[in-house]
Amino acid sequence: MKKIYLVIGLAILIIGGCLIFTRTPKEADSDPISVRIGYNTESLTNVSIIIAYEGGYFQKYGLSPQMIPLKSGREVMQALAAGQVDIGIGGFPNFMQAMVKNAPLRFIAASASSPSYVFVRPNEDLNKLTDLYGKIISVSTSGVNDLVFRTVMDKEKIDTEKMEFADIERSYLIAALMNKKAVDATVVSEQDTDMLLKAGAILLPEWVEKGYDQETVPRNSIIANSEFLNQQETAAENFLNALIDAHRLIKEEPEEAARLLAEHIEAGSGGAIVHVPANIVKQWEDGKIINMIWQNPEVTMKLVRKAKEIGVIDRELSLEEVFDLRFADKLKAAQAEIYGIAD
């Protein structure tokens, strides 16, 4: 009889041991690790973080997400640098100045990419890039679109010193270009194309002919506080595991992902911003917004070098000062698996 009990006891121990060693990250940790996440609740390019939260993927990997809504990438940068959030999402120009000053910030993953567009008024004989000589161009100073436009001008050997630039607030953009004619062209991202087209603006023909309306650049990236990365590396990796699962849902069930995203944005904006999920899916399908978990860092570094060249930052930044690539292999593999490309 004792032998029977002994055998049963050993079997229970063996089975229990197997369960311990085969647990998922969530099951292995009884106490979830708190991760403070800074983000803008209204941005479509924050989809991976929003889906990871709404889909319960953070919790799946043993994390307790503290979602901290902030108004802009600049506020995300300030909160990260001050250690008030652990991981954030935003456009890289918001973080360059802080990196120059050795703030403990590093990009760890991609999020979303999209093209830049140059719009002009119709019937004004503005067809080529050189037609912009002597014209006033609206663009957000030192932003992604500004850096992209200047990089293209360099490639085309066009002198931007022969152009004037104005930083027009988004709400006045249509009036400045179409009604008041205070500017002759504007450089924008996907979020502004519909309103410009509806107002009668057209894409600069040469910009389209040369395919610059198809060249995507990083809009938002995942940034982490370096101290959090070093002290909570496992939590940071599980954060990325959750994002990878979110990207799988975006790819495999885009309608469901778009619904979750639209509902989150509507709730976060107090009902002020309402997106139709079908329209979000169409943007993804048309390549107007490309969701990604990995992008070759050289794409960003090219624009960082342009920022130094035009005086946005006062010294060169190395790859190591901008990126922490400890999870690069995991992210490349996920990108290839989900989206079929490695870079």
Is residue 115 within 8 A of residue 289, CB to CB? The reply is no
Q: What is the pLDDT, as a whole number, of residue 26?
A: 44
Pairing relation of β-strands 136-138 and 164-166?
parallel
* 138 touches 169 (CB < 8 A): no
pLDDT tens track for 189-202: 988 898 999 999 99
pLDDT for 7:
39
Residues of the chain predicted below pLDDT 50: 1-29
The CATH superfamily label for domain 27-114+217-339 reads: Periplasmic binding protein-like II (3.40.190.10)
**Residues 132-161 as b or e (16 or more Cβ within 10 Å = b):** beebbbbbbebbbbbbbbbbbbeeeebebe
236-245 pLDDT per residue, tens: 999 999 999 9
Contact 117, 203 (CB under 8 A): yes
Would you state the structure tokens that stand for residue 47, as one six-digit string? 């989809």
Give the Cα separation of 236 and 285 in Å (integer): 30
Q: Beta strand 185-188 with 136-138: parallel, antiparallel or unpaired?
A: parallel
Q: Domain locations in the chain?
A: 27-114+217-339, 117-209
**What angle do helix axes 277-285 and 254-268 make, rounded to 10 degrees?**
120
Q: Which CATH number is associated with domain 117-209?
A: 3.40.190.10
User: What is residue 110's predicted lDDT score, i.e. its pLDDT?
Assistant: 94
Whether 117-209 and 27-114+217-339 are alike in CATH topology: the answer is: yes
pLDDT at position 263, please? 96
